[in-house]
Structure 1
Amino acid sequence: MNVSQTMETEEDLLTCLHIKFYHPQQSCRGLYGALPLGKRSRHSADDPLRLGRDAQACTYTLLDPRVSRKQLGLYAYRTPQSPDMLFTIQNLSQKGKLSVNSSSLGHLEKVDLPDKALVRFGEYEVEIIRESGEAKGSFEVEFEVLAVPPSRETCMCAPSMTPVMDTGSCVTNGCTAELTALGPLETDETLMYNS
């Protein structure tokens, strides 16, 4: 077999992680200035993809002094039962918690990343969507900034909330303003029910 038949070509559709950020103060701060927004970047599957504040230790950096030096790591892997490239996510922060959907991870704890996940750390909400592709020696990453928190998209799934058709917002006992003032639900979910 000659070399041209074994090399990856530009026509290969690699697995892509779509990583979409939201921070409540993103419009007035240059948090994402070091990220290659809106374009796909190829990343080797052999190396973990690290995200944090330290440009020397991380693959991609957030320009925010409140983010840990090394915040999180994404690790690619494959299983014998599946041709797909899958990922785990690990909390690399010694000081802060990281949550993936409803699971909270302490320092160095990791969990399999589902095809669509809501990751939270500090005031950040990050939606990570895995787009299947060829499981080769690399994958692609595409960064985007969201105008609204991705948790709003999933608020329709919470059993205690009912949709309001004219606005599309979620209301619980008529206290929408009180809910938004609370911040992320993970801070203290019992407040929502005691209002």
Structure 2
Amino acid sequence: MNVSQTMETEEDFLTRLHIKLYHPQQSCKGLYGMLPLGKRSSHPADVPLRLGRDAQACTYALVDPRVSRKQLALHAYRTAQSPDMLFTIQNLSQRGRLSVNSSALGYLERMDLPDKALLRFGEYEMLITRESGEAMGSFEVEFEVLEMPPSRETCMCVPSVTPVMELRALVPLENDETLCHL
């Protein structure tokens, strides 16, 4: 092997966003038809990544009339204190509510995106996981469809430090989407 084959390049160390999607009626044909499922796509760091219904105005589009034309945007940034590429999320929907780990964002409001975040808008749930990289000019995005809601898989809605006996007391008699049931 020569040196060029074993040498790692900047592309090997791109920050990656894994975006896992779930919708209760996702078996409908074409709902995710405009997304590059299972493929890694490179995206320039200086351009916001937009998701919504409008394929012209957004980087990635969902084929769903109930999704806003522009639903959300992810903005990459770096700080002087950290070499990591970080992200903020912004709600671009005037009518639709966007929540990030149970914190609601109003129209045009932004917040820092944690390394692992559960997003909800309409009937959609998205689990976004950030994998650090060293490259500064771009990052990768990879979409995947989940068979069950990520809120049930991750139980992000209940603090992990709460003892199990206390959790049982928190579960109401009726079903509530915001709680994980034991």
TM range (shorter): 0.7 to 0.9
Tell me the residue number matched to 1:101: 101
Maintained 8 Å contact 1:155/1:161: no
Instruction: Please state whether the residue corresponding to 1:12 is helix, strand or coil.
Output: helix
Q: Deviation of residue 134 (structure 1)?
A: 1.2
* Paired residue type of 1:106: G
Tell me the residue number matched to 1:56: 56
Tell me the residue number matched to 1:133: 133
Tell me the residue number matched to 1:70: 70
- Residue 18 (structure 2) pairs with residue 18 (structure 1): yes
* Paired residue type of 1:139: F
Identity %: 75
* Paired residue type of 1:138: S
- Aligned equivalents of 1:13, 1:57: Cα separation in 2: 29
- Aligned equivalents of 2:112, 2:106: Cα separation in 1: 15
Maintained 8 Å contact 2:102/2:157: no
Counterparts of residues 164-179 of structure 1 (less than 5 Å): 172=171, 175=173, 178-179=174-175
Q: Deviation of residue 161 (structure 1)?
A: 3.8
Instruction: Please state whether the residue corresponding to 1:51 is helix, strand or coil.
Output: strand
Maintained 8 Å contact 2:94/2:107: yes
Q: Deviations over 1:64-106 (max 9, x none)?
A: 0000000000000000000000000000001011000021000
Q: Deviation of residue 155 (structure 1)?
A: 2.8
Number of aligned residue pairs: give it: 167
Q: Deviation of residue 29 (structure 1)?
A: 3.8
- Aligned equivalents of 1:125, 1:81: Cα separation in 2: 32
- Aligned equivalents of 1:40, 1:146: Cα separation in 2: 17
Gaps of 5+ in 2: none
Instruction: Please state whether the residue corresponding to 2:12 is helix, strand or coil.
Output: coil
Maintained 8 Å contact 1:52/1:62: yes
Q: Deviation of residue 147 (structure 1)?
A: 0.5
Tell me the residue number matched to 1:147: 147
Relative distance call for 1:137 and 1:150 in structure 2 (3 A) is same
Instruction: Please state whether the residue corresponding to 1:153 is helix, strand or coil.
Output: helix
- Aligned equivalents of 2:171, 2:118: Cα separation in 1: 22
Q: Deviations over 1:22-43 (max 9, x none)?
A: 0000012421000000010000
Tell me the TM-score normalised to structure 1 length. Answer: 0.79
